[in-house]
Amino acid sequence: MATATLARIAAGVAAEGEMPGFPKYRQIIAALTRAIERGLLNPGDRLPPETKLAHLFSVSLGTIQKALTHLADIGFVQRTRRRGTFVAGRQAEDVFVFRFKNPDTGQVQIPFTRVLSVAEDGSNGAWRPFLQVERCVRVERLVWVEGDSPAYSRFFIAHDLGRHLLQESIDNLHGASFHRILGRRFNLPTIRTTHRLQCRKLSADACRHLVVPRGTYGTNWDVVGFSYNRATTYQSLQIPAGHRPIELDVLTSGAATHASAAEQA
């Protein structure tokens, strides 16, 4: 891959300057993500060695490694020992429902996730009419972007598709995209989503993990993910008041459009 392309990307990062609450490694993540989505960097392109990238972006080696680690976690690059780092590109199964724009730059920020628990769930929950199974695997997570307080997420997957997660160490699931796992492991990419948002009291579990008083109101956001003619995921996000607008991707007549849903809670 031409070093000149990366040099232009690095120059763009330098031109934006330092911004409060937006560390350098996050600027690099945003710049490389944007370049991949715009086709300036293509799937299969090999990035220069980390030391050269650090020189191009005028940052420490640790900053570059932190940026590349996050890009690998969210599926934009692939890092292979001895071979280096390659652009993976955005695949159909790479779905980021919870995402925000930085108010200063307008750049979309991809979230971090931390898994709290993974368990079987046979309750008569809201997920059942959509997934149409007796049992599912429930993943509880905290989801956040740099500089914001987290949201509480319950992610439900049909048991036959998610039972392998029960055997995984929780530490291995931090940052994982379950949409991507379904696409690559079962050939069930998430091709559309439906959304329902309400302002109501957050659950007791959400209040405990978000460290807010019981009875706190917030945005309750339920998202159903579909692959072809089957619902494969059900996610319930609970978000306390004060967050910036959410970015929603809506498929209309085969084309992706973007809409902002401002939280009023």
Give the Cα separation of 102 and 22 in Å (integer).
Answer: 9
pLDDT at 64: 93
Say if residues 207 and 213 touch (Cβ distance below 8 Å): yes
Q: What are phi and psi of 131, to 5 degrees?
A: -80, -25
Say if residues 93 and 227 touch (Cβ distance below 8 Å): no
Beta bridge partners of 254: none
In the chain, what is the straight-line distance between the N-terminal and C-terminal CA atoms, in Å? 46
Select the CATH number that applies to the domain covering 3-87 from these four: 3.40.50.11540, 1.10.10.10, 3.40.50.1220, 3.20.20.70: 1.10.10.10
Alpha-carbon 92 to chain mean position: 14
Task: Read off the pTM.
Answer: 0.62
Give the Cα separation of 176 and 94 in Å (integer).
Answer: 11
The half-sphere exposure of 132 on its side-chain side, counting CA atoms within 13 A, is 6
Decide if 3-87 and 100-261 have a common fold: no
- CATH class, domain 100-261, is alpha beta
Query: What's the pLDDT tens digit per position in 4-60?
Result: 788 888 888 877 654 445 688 888 888 887 787 677 887 778 899 999 999 999 999
pLDDT at 92: 42
Token readout for 79 is 């890092």
pLDDT at 110: 73
pLDDT per residue rounded down to tens, the chain (265 residues): 567 788 888 888 877 654 445 688 888 888 887 787 677 887 778 899 999 999 999 999 999 999 998 888 766 788 877 788 888 744 444 556 777 777 777 666 778 889 999 999 999 999 999 999 999 999 999 998 877 789 999 999 999 999 999 999 998 898 888 888 888 888 888 878 889 999 999 999 999 999 999 999 999 999 999 887 789 999 999 999 887 777 665 443 333 333 333 332 2
Say if residues 77 and 86 touch (Cβ distance below 8 Å): yes
Kind and range of the H or E run holding 87: strand 84-87
pLDDT at 80: 79
Say if residues 252 and 234 touch (Cβ distance below 8 Å): no
For the chain, domain boundaries: 3-87, 100-261
Vertex 147 angle, CA 144 and 150, to 5°:
30
Closest CA to 135 of 157, 107, 164, 109: 157
pLDDT at 137: 97
Give the Cα separation of 53 and 74 in Å (integer).
Answer: 20
Beta bridge partners of 114: 142
Closest CA to 178 of 220, 145, 223, 148: 223
pLDDT at 17: 56
